[in-house]
């Protein structure tokens, strides 16, 4: 017979799979001899069997439950349903991972019209007993049976209205009796059946309700989003009730063993005297800081503090504790890993290493890479945020869709947001939801708040792309015309609000923001220095300018994985020369323009090389189609059309001739632009195809690279240039470029009499290059995966066209698990990458392989890059710390953190 | 010691690799006891060693050559360099495959001032001896030493001028002596060294010259084009001279064992009495038909006829023979496989099976698939072409760049070609070379002739694409302004010319063309029926309309592999409805348009199903982006701009208002078109992405398919529809469409009470689909490779943009071996296909896999499709016979034909 039920003393912390997080925590506390009310856990396996069994309890489960209940009766000396000495229990769900949307708690189960009298007699407190009873009836009705809680509240309010103080505590025992009767009548009306007096029926229904809540919509959605398997299922914890509301020698509270905001090593929490847990949650009375417990019940506080420290040491992790004091006796109700801010996560991990509590490996595994990124984003000053919270400015919470924090004027349409934003005003764009029509406003806003939409909604995706904070799907707010309401407060256009995209919080009024400086984040730096010890992947950065390279190096970059030479071409003073080069009608004209560009490019490269003294710098030769450097076809057509109208309206022959000449010039240009137009420029004349057709351009670039290298080498700079050819699909493309360009490099070095150690390699961004990587590696000393283009071609999806038109819908409809431009698609693109690495190294065992697509900064993609044996990932400079941590975690294996 | 030299009697026909085609043929004739002048072959291996050895003869080769020469001396009783009884030899190259650009022949080697006297004495014919000598000096100078042959000709002409008849035969012995002296002087002037009197030095130089010719530019280009490995190398054949010019009991000739034009079983050839081989080539005297030999030398003719038959039976193949008669004695100089026209190839293969000479398998392997295609193209009437040739209308030859034949007016620019073509005139566009600017003229021309450019030049590629005959790179013509000259003839605009793209011939004047009818090609049909016995691949056809399906079926198609539903949308009467559907502002409007399209599509499908009674029909749901059905953005912008100018020039308020209204309407439409514009439409909102976003469209299509199927099934037609989803990249796309569409199919069948056997499957045209084919096969009952798109995405090349801009250059520069849109790229695209087949069948062993890209009609690609185990190839209807043959050849293994 399967064992479906475990007494707390039969379990331990390792049994999370079977007993859930809460059950395992309680069991572990019992094993450690801590004061835990007697109880037992029905296993996740039982829940699984319940669903497999068409929602019937598996055979033996109920009998084992009754048996465990008997054992609890023996331990407590009370009996379930016994009016003389009734055993009351709480029933709680408890999955392996803490999860919103599942059934929380039913307290005081076991009460009925007869046991309530017994409770009154035993406690000598009729009011207390009926207070517990009315709470139980409401909780059972609401949580187990799904009756709208507001209906119970309404009845309660009507009684409170009759009292003087209008508080719960003002209700008399008689009123409470009457309330219980009204609640039961409501129950009967709503469900068409009487409230169950039989405690066993109550228990059976509560257990089934916990099981059912596993498949509730919110729980299922949450698991889908967080990729938690649906077959883990939940356990049910049944525990003897203890009462924090038996007078002022009683109370209930929650505490963290360290400050979850800052990570400081202090006991941090709050408690409420003479109260049950739900009163804390309901927020009707303001709880006290935990420190006050030391004054009010010094013995209890001391014992709790000891237990807290013991649990933290035992778990070697910051704990989130729940406790109740019943008539001066401390009971522990829960211990679990405490949630924390990014800053706290780093500080706690680092401190615990210094305290000898955990190893450096563990510390590195305990911080999420995304948290490192958050740490470097603007965030609210913790104290000012606390001030705002204390002042009741919290309007509600939404989904933490894009991290960072911002304060600004609420604005309700994109046009206004754009207009005010351009005036330099700080603006938060608030919309029911966003669409591509709102992007111009999002671009100018400091942050985005939406009422609807999930973590992959348009607002969320665009905001993450822009690196702006976003709170999405804040169903607590109601967006109307030029205003929104939340929690009864009306926020109008122009009112200041603050949103925290890292936590999902929305505040009224401004909150000070802090912009972190990497240099000052000493604890983060320490953590990352440990990460560096463990990781095998190097972390390089994508940087086009010396200033970016400088930042990247400060952040810990070990090289430049991608310097895009064409970005330099787009600069204002250079573009006219580039255009002359493109539009040249003779080879001499073209060469002349290139000769002008040469010293400019050389200067750019010198700057990069100096910043990266001693480290490799990969320079990619020209990549975009040439027409990108020219005015757009559409604009030219429009300009000519406008000139035509002006000409036909011209008053004088002179004016007419002038317009005519202007038209002629524009039409000439239009002709050149038209000749270069492409149906699918992404797959057109660009990358190495340009270099092959117009070798003068790449010859100039290679000359600039090697002249720059020789120049800075003469200054004593150690320079390691790597020349990268883009868009190679066939070995012969690479070979031809190599045969054209390596002689240039050798010639420059011979001219200068300097020997530079360099590499020659290629992007792998065309599927065919990956498929034939064994051939490509014959001529390439390094590969760099351009996963942006590789993803576009492998999926046959143009990112520009798709993201607005169908890709987000694909993610929303679960056709794709993620946006493949954010999280590397392992099944397709990743498979190609794996092939390419294997084939390439077969030809050239010391092949250097890295990634320079955007995925190089995404933790999950970095794991994959580690797993297929890349040498480095190259990320944008601000993602370098994220990548350092993610790379270390990949090397250390799956993180041991809870989710 | 390696054996570098083989006497003819030591070799045999199997030794082609070592002895070359000619050497092996001579050896085989000796073995068969036929009269072959004694001689020997220096092996291809020796040539290879020569190049490996820095152009020095390998050790032992020269000694073995001298030894073989001694053996020939023994056999003939003559001695090399002996004035008393001189042995003279011919030296010829001879690679495995006959190849233009290599050294042809040096005759009479061994003559010098002393041996010529011996020859005169022995033959008692001084004139003959000096004639031979002057030929030898010129040939040696020209062929071995590279002196311009025209210079020898000039000297010769100056002597002929002095004679009465002005013919070679009018030259006296004394004149010939003088000519020899003049030739030698020329030789000395040109080379700065005297003509070598030493026969051994002559031989050594000739052998080296043959070796060197292997690496001559034309030979290398030829091998590159035909993909013949460069390390095969050539053999050298050294053979005792026999003389066809020793009087009228002598002569020389060539003959085919069957008519190489028609395939008729008659001895076909020509001979020249009292002449050496080069006289036939030079074309100075007109040769006689071989039949005349029967009158003039009946014994010799009879012997030759017997030998010819014996050789054909021996080789079981039509032979191309060379012979010489020396004073009434027949000598065989060569036998090799005879080249033939497509028609002859088919007839000979079929006849030889009926004659019991070869098996059906061999017959099937002896015809090139491309020849089958040629057979179905318009071609010149053979008799009329012969007439033209006899009349000296042949102007020259170029590259046979695109098969077929055409007569028409020569026109020298694209605009005129277009104008005249549209008037219904037959036009041949003649250009120095073509560029994309000429395409509008090429579209209206019957054929294209260019002076420059190879088989992958713009003209060649476009012409093949258009299915029009093209002769390219005809360097024999000189294209000037509105005229070209060739062979001294001037052809002016409007003059009639004829080009044969199959042979590369250019004629002055018209030649009758014949348009073959497949039904009447009974021998081809017989051959293909044998092919059908052997092939494992099925051959289906791509057809969008019932009329195409009918043709395809006549050609032998076993199913429709691709019916493109959107082609039906483009028809004039339907496009407005399609546009209404696209521009609909409400769901009802859209549904209304779709309701109108439904019966039209149903009708189309009914027609297809009826034609294909009993065979499968794969219908692809809508694929192109919707904006393709709307007016182009550019045109609309232009129209609006024009209207603006018109409006500003309007005279009356009424006119103005009218223009304004027209502008408003166009601008509305422009707005819709602009919203649908895409940066890279190839990778945008098309294929299944459309079906997923706008399921109403595909729902309508599936309803039309199944209503049509039910309707024709009721007529007794056996209908096997297969629904194909385009552009799938992820299993979930396919699954979603399947879940939306299969219920529609089931519903229609339920409504009609008819059960249709159908399949549901997908294109594999996105690399990711191939990479994850194991997943895709879960929901697909069939795969169809769309190799056009698969090639575009795997290479990252947009065909529209690339072919004009860089792809042809890539092929020209050997960066790519072929245009991958014509010949399947095995290394990349093929690798993906192989993966997809293996992965797909792992999931679903009975998965039906085919190809519907253009490659399905390309023989080399069909071989590959066979090798990776496809079920069928689907080609355009006129390619079906080609595919049937290619599929059979693939099944029978590599063809045994010579090249």
3-state secondary structure B794-851: HHCCCHHHHHHHHHHHHHHCCCCCCCCCCCCCHHHHHHHHHHHHHHHHHHCCCCEEEE
Q: Which tokens go with A299? A: 């013995």
A889/A431 Cα distance (integer angstroms): 38
Nearest neighbour of B794 by CB, restricted to A641, A678, A767:
A767
pLDDT score of A466 more than 90: no
Instruction: Give the pLDDT score at A101.
Output: 67
Quick check: A190 pLDDT over 90?
Answer: yes
Model pLDDT for residues B648-700, shown as the tens digit of each residue: 888 899 999 999 999 999 999 998 888 888 889 999 999 999 999 999 999 99
Measure the N-to-C terminal CA separation of chain A; round to a whole number of Å: 33
- Of B40, B93, B107, the residue nearest B68 (C-alpha): B40
Three-point CA angle B83, B86, B87, nearest 5°: 160
Burial class (CB in 10 A: 0-12, 13-18, 19+), B424: exposed
Helix (H, G, I), strand (E, B) or coil at A366: coil
Residues of B with a known catalytic role: 458, 852
Q: What is the pLDDT of residues B249-269, one digit of tens each?
A: 999 999 999 998 889 999 998
**Structure confidence at residue A465 (pLDDT):** 61
- Would you call B212 an interface residue with chain A, using a CB distance cutoff of 8 Å? no
pLDDT band, residue B281 (cuts 50/70/90): low
Using CA atoms, how far residue A507 sits from A395, A408, A410, A534, in Å, is 5, 11, 11, 41
Question: Which residues, listed in sequence order, are joined to residue B380 by a DSSP beta bridge?
Answer: B513
Pairing of strands A268-273, A329-337: unpaired
* Per-residue model confidence (pLDDT) at position B189: 95
**Candidate from A645, A693, A766 with C-beta closest to B809:** A693
Q: How far apart are CA B25 and CA B336, in angstroms?
A: 6
pLDDT tens for A86-99 read 999 999 999 988 77
DSSP per-residue letters across B410-455: EE-SHHHHHHHHHTT--EEEEESS--GGGHHHHHH-SEEEESS--T
Confidence class for position A221, pLDDT limits 50, 70, 90: confident
Residue A720 has pLDDT above 80, yes or no: yes
- Residue from B684, B662, B687 nearest B675 by CA: B684
Cα distance between the two ends of chain B: 32
How far is CA A309 from its chain centroid?
30
- Answer yes or no: do B767 and A767 touch at CB < 8 A: yes
Pick from A720-734, B247-261, B845-859: least confident: B247-261
d(CA B799, CA B319): 44
**Residue the block writes with tokens 């779709």:** B594
Who's near A664: CB < 8 A, 6+ residues apart? Answer: none
ipTM surpasses 0.85: no
Cα B720 to chain centroid, rounded? 36
d(CA A822, CA A854): 7
Q: Evaluate if residue B898 carries a pLDDT over 50.
A: no
Residue B808 pLDDT more than 90? no
- In chain A, what residues touch B685 (CB-CB under 8 Å)? 801-802, 805-806
Euclidean distance between CA atoms B899 and B896, whole angstroms: 9
Contact B796 A765 (CB under 8 A): yes
Rounded mean pLDDT, A723-737 = 97
On whether any CB of chain B is under 8 Å from the CB of A732, the answer is yes
In angstroms, what separates the C-alpha of B541 from chain A's closest C-alpha? 26
Q: State how far Cα B838 lies from the chain centre.
A: 32
Please tell me the total number of residues recorded for chain B in this structure. 899
3-state secondary structure of A720: strand
Is the Cβ pair A679, B682 closer than 8 Å? yes
A683 touches chain B (CB under 8 A): yes
Interface of A with B in 849-888 (CB under 8 A): none
Decide: A279 and A272 in contact? Cβ < 8 Å. Answer: yes
B619 pLDDT above the threshold of 90? yes
DSSP A592-635: HHHHHHHHHHHHHHHHHHHHTTTSEEEEEPP-S-GGGGS--HHH
| Mean pLDDT calculated for residue range A673-678 | 87
* Residue range B803-823: mean pLDDT, rounded: 85
Per-residue pLDDT tens for B730-787? 999 999 999 999 999 999 999 999 999 999 999 999 999 999 999 999 999 999 999 9
Residue pointed to by tokens 């700080």:
A426
Check pLDDT > 70 for residue B592: yes
The reported pLDDT for the residue numbered B326 is 92
Chain A residue at shortest CA distance from B687 = A796
Q: Is the dihedral of CA A437, A443, A444, A449 positive or negative?
A: positive
Confidence bin at A177 (pLDDT 50/70/90): very high
Per-residue pLDDT, B798: 92
Check residue B710 and give its pLDDT.
98
Q: Compute the nearest-CA separation of A507 from chain B (Å).
A: 38
CB-based contact, B779 to chain A, within 8 Å: no
Q: Do B806 and A685 touch (CB under 8 A)?
A: yes
Q: What are the structure tokens assigned to B487, written together? A: 């062979």
Q: Is the pLDDT of residue A467 over 80?
A: no
Q: How many CB atoms lie within 10 A of CB B481?
A: 8
The answer for residues whose C-beta is within 8 angstroms of residue A179's C-beta and 6 or more apart is: A130, A134, A155, A156, A159, A171
The Cα–Cα gap between A769 and A731 comes to 8
Contacts of B829 in chain A (CB under 8 A): 768
Helix B342-354 with B522-534: angle, nearest 10 deg: 70
Query: Predicted confidence band at A812 (pLDDT cuts at 50, 70, 90)?
Result: confident
The enclosing H or E element of A150 equals helix A149-162
Pairing of strands A720-725, A234-240: unpaired
- In the prediction, which pLDDT does A897 show? 40
pLDDT greater than 70 at residue B101: no
**8 A C-beta contact, residue A496 and residue A407:** yes
Q: Do B827 and A772 touch (CB under 8 A)?
A: yes
How does pLDDT run across B104-163, given as a tens digit for each residue? 789 999 999 999 999 999 888 899 999 999 999 999 999 999 999 899 999 999 998 888
- Cβ B801–A678 below 8 Å, yes or no? yes
- pLDDT score at A169: 75
Q: Say whether B683 and A792 touch across the interface (CB within 8 A).
A: yes
Distances (CA, A) of A97 to A102, A229, A232, A316, B55: 11, 11, 9, 18, 79
CB atoms within 10 A of CB B882: 27
- Render pLDDT for B338-387 as a digit per residue (tens, 0 to 9): 888 888 999 999 999 999 999 999 999 999 998 898 888 888 998 999 99
Instruction: Determine how many CB atoms are found less than 10 A away from the CB of residue A191.
Output: 13
Residue A749: its pLDDT value, please?
Answer: 97
Rg (CA), chain A: 34
CA distance B624 to B685: 8
Say if the Cβ atoms of B683 and A684 lie within 8 Å. Answer: no
Instruction: Write down the pLDDT at residue B365.
Output: 94
* Cα A774 to Cα A838: distance, rounded to the nearest angstrom: 8
Q: Which of A679, A727, A805 sits opposite B801 (nearest CB)?
A: A679
Q: Which CA distances in Å does B700 have to A756, B3, B427?
A: 66, 76, 46
pLDDT digits (tens, 9 = 90+) for B292-338: 899 999 999 999 999 999 999 999 999 999 999 999 999 999 999 88
**Cβ(A688)–Cβ(A727) below 8 Å:** yes
Percent of chain B with pLDDT over 90: 70
Report the pLDDT value the prediction gives residue B799, as an integer from 0 to 100: 86
* Both structure tokens of B99: 């190849």
CB contacts, 8 Å: A729 with chain B: 794-797, 828
- Please check the confidence at residue B896 and state whether its pLDDT lies above 70: no
User: Which residues sit opposite A760 in a β-bridge?
Assistant: A723
Please state, in angstroms and rounded to a whole number, the distance separating the CA atoms of residues B195 and B176. Answer: 17
Calculate Rg over the CA atoms of chain B.
Answer: 34
Alpha-carbon gap, residue B179 to A659, rounded angstroms: 77
Of the candidates B682, B685, B801, the beta carbon closest to that of A805 is on: B685
Residue B283 banded pLDDT, cuts 50, 70, 90: low
Mean pLDDT, chain A, as a whole number?
A: 91
CA angle A88, A94, A98 (to 5 degrees): 135
Rounded alpha-carbon distances, angstroms, from residue B5 to B41, B105, B204, B400:
6, 19, 14, 38
Residues A740-744: what's their mean pLDDT?
96
Please give the pLDDT value at position B897: 40
> What's the whole-number average pLDDT of chain B?
91
Work out the pLDDT band at A896, boundaries 50, 70, 90.
Answer: very low
Structure tokens at B704: 């039309």
CB atoms B693 and A814 under 8 Å? no
Distance CA A309, CA A305 (A): 6
- The whole-angstrom separation of Cα B407 and Cα A618 is 59
The verdict on A819 touching B (C-beta cutoff 8 Å) is no
Question: Can you tell me which residue has the tokens 């970005």?
Answer: A567
Other Cβ atoms within 10 Å of A52 Cβ, number: 11
Q: Show the tokens assigned to A344.
A: 């706290």
Chain segment B210-238, per-residue pLDDT in tens: 999 999 887 887 787 677 888 889 999 99
């Amino acid at each position: 017979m399967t064992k479906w039920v475990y007494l707390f003393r039969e379990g331990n912390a390792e049994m999370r799979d079977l007993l859930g997080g809460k059950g395992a925590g309680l069991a572990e506390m019992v094993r450690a001899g801590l004061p835990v009310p007697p109880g037992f856990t029905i296993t996740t396996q039982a829940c699984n069997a319940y669903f497999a069994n068409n929602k019937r309890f598996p055979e033996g489960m109920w009998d084992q439950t009754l048996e465990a209940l008997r054992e609890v009766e023996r331990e407590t000396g009370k009996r379930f349903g016994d009016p003389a000495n009734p055993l009351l229990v709480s029933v709680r769900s408890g999955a392996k991972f803490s999860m919103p949307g599942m059934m929380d708690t039913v307290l005081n189960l076991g009460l009925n019209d007869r046991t309530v009298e017994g409770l009154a007699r035993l406690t000598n407190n009729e009011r207390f007993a009926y207070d517990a009873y009315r709470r139980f009836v409401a909780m059972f009705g609401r949580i187990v049976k799904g009756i709208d809680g507001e209906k119970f509240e309404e009845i309660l309010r009507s009684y409170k209205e009759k009292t003087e103080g209008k508080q719960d505590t003002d209700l008399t025992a008689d009123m409470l009796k009457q309330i219980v009767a009204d609640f039961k009548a409501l129950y009967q009306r709503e469900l068409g059946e009487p409230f169950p007096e039989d405690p066993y029926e109550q228990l059976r229904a509560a257990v089934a309700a916990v099981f059912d809540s596993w498949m509730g919509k919110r729980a299922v959605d949450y698991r889908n989003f967080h990729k938690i398997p649906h077959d883990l299922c939940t356990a049910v914890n049944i525990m003897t009730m203890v009462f924090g509301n038996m007078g002022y020698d009683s109370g209930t509270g929650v505490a963290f063993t360290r400050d979850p905001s800052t990570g400081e090593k202090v006991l941090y929490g709050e408690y409420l005297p003479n109260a049950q847990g739900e009163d804390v949650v309901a927020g009707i009375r303001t709880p006290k800081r935990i420190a006050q417990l030391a004054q009010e019940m010094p013995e209890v506080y001391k014992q709790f503090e000891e237990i807290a420290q013991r649990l933290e040491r035992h778990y070697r992790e910051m704990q989130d504790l729940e406790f109740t004091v019943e008539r001066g006796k401390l009971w522990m109700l829960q211990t679990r890993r405490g949630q924390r801010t990014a800053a706290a996560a780093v500080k706690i991990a680092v401190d615990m290493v210094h305290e000898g509590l955990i190893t450096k490996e563990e510390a590195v595994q305990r911080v999420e890479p995304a948290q490192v990124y958050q740490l470097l984003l603007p965030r609210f000053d913790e104290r000012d945020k606390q001030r705002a919270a204390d002042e009741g400015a919290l309007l509600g919470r939404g989904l933490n869709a894009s991290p960072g924090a911002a304060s600004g004027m609420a604005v309700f349409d994109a046009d206004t947001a754009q207009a005010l934003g351009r005036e330099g005003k700080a603006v938060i764009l608030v919309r029911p939801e966003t669409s591509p029509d709102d992007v111009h406003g999002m671009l100018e806003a400091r942050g985005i708040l939406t009422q609807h939409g999930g973590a992959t909604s348009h607002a969320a995706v665009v905001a993450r792309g822009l690196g702006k904070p976003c709170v999405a799907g804040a169903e607590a707010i109601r967006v109307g015309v030029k205003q929104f309401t939340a929690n009864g407060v009306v926020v109008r256009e122009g009112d200041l609000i603050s949103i925290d995209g890292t936590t999902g919080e929305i505040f009224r009024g401004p909150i000070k923001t802090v912009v972190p400086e990497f240099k000052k984040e000493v604890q983060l730096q320490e953590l990352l220095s440990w990460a560096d010890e463990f990781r095998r992947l190097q972390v390089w950065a994508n940087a086009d300018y010396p200033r970016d390279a400088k930042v990247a190096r400060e952040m810990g970059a070990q090289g430049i994985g991608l310097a895009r030479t064409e970005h330099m071409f787009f600069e204002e003073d250079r573009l006219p020369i580039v255009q002359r080069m493109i539009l040249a009608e003779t080879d001499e004209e073209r060469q002349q323009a290139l000769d002008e560009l040469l010293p400019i490019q050389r200067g750019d490269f010198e700057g990069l090389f100096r910043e990266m003294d001693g480290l490799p710098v990969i320079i990619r030769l020209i990549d975009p189609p040439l027409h990108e450097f020219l005015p757009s076809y559409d604009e030219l057509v429009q300009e000519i059309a406008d000139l035509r109208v002006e000409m036909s309206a011209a008053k004088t022959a002179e004016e007419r001739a002038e317009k005519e000449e202007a038209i002629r010039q524009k039409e000439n240009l239009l002709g050149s632009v038209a000749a270069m137009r492409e149906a699918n420029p992404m797959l057109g004349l660009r990358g190495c195809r340009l270099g092959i057709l117009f070798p003068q351009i790449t010859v100039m670039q290679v000359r600039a690279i090697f002249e720059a290298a020789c120049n800075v080498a003469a200054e004593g700079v150690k320079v390691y240039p790597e020349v990268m050819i883009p868009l190679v699909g066939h070995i012969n493309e690479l070979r031809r470029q190599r045969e054209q360009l390596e002689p240039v490099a050798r010639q420059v070095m011979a001219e200068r009499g300097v020997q530079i150690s360099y590499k020659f390699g290629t992007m792998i961004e065309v599927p065919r290059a990956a498929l034939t990587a064994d051939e490509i590696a014959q001529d390439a000393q390094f590969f760099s995966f351009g996963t942006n283009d590789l993803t576009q071609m492998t999926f046959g999806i143009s990112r520009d066209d798709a993201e607005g038109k169908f890709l987000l819908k694909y993610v929303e409809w679960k056709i794709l698990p993620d946006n493949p431009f954010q999280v590397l698609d392992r099944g397709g693109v990743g498979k190609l990458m794996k092939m390419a690495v294997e084939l390439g190294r077969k030809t050239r065992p010391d092949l250097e392989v890295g990634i320079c697509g955007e995925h190089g900064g995404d933790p999950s993609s970095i794991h994959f890059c580690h797993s297929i044996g890349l040498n480095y990932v190259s990320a944008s400079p601000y993602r370098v710390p994220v990548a350092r941590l993610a790379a270390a975690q990949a090397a250390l294996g799956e993180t041991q953190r809870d989710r």
